[in-house]
Structure 1
Amino acid sequence: MWSLPNLFNFAGYCIYFWSNESGEPIHVHVSVKRPSNQSTKFWLLKDGSVELANNHAELSRKSIKRLSFFITQNYNFILAAWKNYFEVDSIKFYK
């Protein structure tokens, strides 16, 4: 059974990752109120920024911009949470 480690609840959105995705580059999912299969995905990049991977939750441009800023501001916390949860010493990045 997979779990959904919840990182943040921000402005009505749930920001989390799936427990079965440790083989993928670091990223977070965002859904309205609670985790969903129809989530928006953001890659965390090596330079400390984020990139939209997909928008399956169909969030507005304004929401994506706001969430991108929030995720970037919490970049180091997310990296630490990923390392801790998946018990890895290094992070695989998309870019």
Structure 2
Amino acid sequence: MPTILQILGWRLFFYANESQEPMHIHCTKAGMECKYWLDTERFEIFEAYAYNMNSKSRREIRKIIYQHFEYIENAWNEFQLRKY
């Protein structure tokens, strides 16, 4: 499960066994956890789940994902290619 970013206490990462799912990112910080789907055609993200998060932490991680959207997309594609 490679960590691709660590920023403002958030760790953004992928799981190696999820290549059959659409592009997404897992995020954790201080007991909080979430997963966001990335729609690269529309430059949008959608919350798949969130655990122990309030609206402030949701806004914070959404902003981080949008600020690093292209980086996350490229890291996902590279990671998926390396596995095979």
Q: Same fold (TM over 0.5)?
A: yes
Structure 1 stretches of 5 or more lacking a match?
89-95
In the alignment, the residues of structure 2 paired with residue 69 and residue 21 of structure 1 have an alpha-carbon distance, to the nearest angstrom, of 24
Distance 1:59 1:11 in 2: 15
Name the counterpart of 1:13: 10
Give the alignment's Cα RMSD to 1 decimal.
1.9
**TM-score, length of structure 2 as denominator length:** 0.85
- List structure 1 segments (4+ residues) > 3 angstroms apart after TM superposition: none
Q: Of Structure 1 and Structure 2, which has the larger fraction of its residues in helix? A: 2
- Native 8 Å contact 2:33 2:53 kept in 1: no
Tell me which residue corresponds to 1:72. 66
Aligned to 2:43: 48
- CA distance in 1 between counterparts of 2:18 and 2:5 reads 18
Structure 2: any 5+ residue segments left out of the alignment? none
The answer to whether structure 1 residue 29 and structure 2 residue 23 are counterparts is no
Structure showing greater relative contact order (alpha-carbon pairs closer than 8 Å, 6 or more residues apart): 1
Provide the C-alpha distance between the structure 2 equivalents of 1:7 and 1:65, rounded to a whole number of angstroms: 20
Which residue identity lines up with residue 59 of structure 1 in the other structure?
Answer: M
